[in-house]
Amino acid sequence: MKALLQKLAMDLVDMFMALIPRAVPSAAALRNCKIVSHRGEHDNRRVMENTLLAFDIARAAGVWGIECDIRWTRDLVPVICHDASAERVFGQPVLIESLAFSDLRQQLPAIPSLEEVVARYSGNTHLMLELKSLSAEHLLQQRETLARILGRVTAGEDYHILALDPGLFTLVDFIDPGCLLPVAETNVRRLSDISLQRGYGGLAGHYLLLGEGVRRRHLAAGQDIGTGFPRSRNCLCRELNRGVRWIFSNDAVYLQGAVNSLLARQGD
């Protein structure tokens, strides 16, 4: 019920934001726009979230980046899945951590491994990788696995690491803190303080919660912010006009099309 109410509230806010006219951003702002497809371009009916198909659609549309979520199988293979269970997306009430990777591949072949995602998109699509869990018992092995996979790409240039809980960043202590982004929900002030104290890359969160005060605070420290989840051209323009670096969206292909259209009108 809580999730449903939150979605309804966000939908109302998005509808309101879509109605407010915004100035067209400069050509430079549009060219530098970094749209991130949240879990890929999906509807969870024909195209499921966090799958290679969802990511491919975003990449083909010219979207700058994709956001995806890392969980662990029973035999400690990092895979791409938002929920602990496969029930919501795939209709199978099975916990990801309860299956060995070979069994997961047999039962749910659409769930990719992190290694597959890095190999497929490195160099052509920026990866925003969100850590969802860790095992204290297997922390060293998990860290070594991530270091091996991510060692093939460059932090900051090819990917950033996100987490709702900054404690999860212990999994990637081999990465420059400037490539780590805490994701705030209602705890914006706390995570903002932590990001500044630890020299992280900035802060991500909902566009209504990361207001101008937060943006200026991080900008003054040489950090950036990323906001989610604009759905309309007007909301996108709002974020670009106030200097937001990363735009996370469930409608990334539409927003990329809006950016392309605005650039075409400016003769760019």
Residues 78, 147, single domain; the answer is yes
CA distance 27 to 55: 27
Residues 126, 46, single domain; the answer is yes
- Residues whose CB falls within 8 Å of the CB of residue 153, separated by 6 or more in sequence, listed in order: 118, 122, 123, 127, 159
pLDDT tens digits, residue range 118-155? 999 999 999 999 999 999 999 999 999 999 999 999 99
Identify the three-state secondary structure at position 260: helix
Token pair 């938002």: residue = 82
Residue 16's pLDDT is 79
Considering the domain boundaries, does residue 19 fall inside one?
no
pLDDT tens digits, residue range 21-53? 889 999 999 999 999 999 999 999 999 999 999
Cα torsion 3, 8, 14, 19 to 10°: value is 180
Residues 154, 211, single domain; the answer is no
> How many structural domains is the chain composed of?
2
Residue 4's pLDDT is 67
Report the predicted TM-score, pTM, of the whole model to 2 decimal places. 0.95
Considering the domain boundaries, does residue 10 fall inside one?
no
Residues 186, 155, single domain; the answer is no
Q: What are 186's two structure tokens?
A: 């209602």
Give rounded-to-5 percent helix, strand, coil for the chain.
45, 20, 35
Residue 19's pLDDT is 79
Give the CATH number for residue 212: 3.20.20.190
- Residues whose CB falls within 8 Å of the CB of residue 130, separated by 6 or more in sequence, listed in order: 67, 68, 69, 70, 161, 162, 163, 164, 183
Residue 52's pLDDT is 99
CA distance 70 to 78: 6
pLDDT tens digits, residue range 206-254? 999 999 999 999 999 999 999 999 999 999 999 999 999 999 999 999 9
Mean pLDDT of the chain: 96
Residues 209, 156, single domain; the answer is no
pLDDT tens digits, residue range 52-100? 999 999 999 999 999 999 999 999 999 999 999 999 999 999 999 999 9
Residues 217, 264, single domain; the answer is yes
Considering the domain boundaries, does residue 16 fall inside one?
no
- What is the domain range of residue 203? 176-268
Considering the domain boundaries, does residue 250 fall inside one?
yes
CA distance 129 to 113: 12
Residues 233, 136, single domain; the answer is no
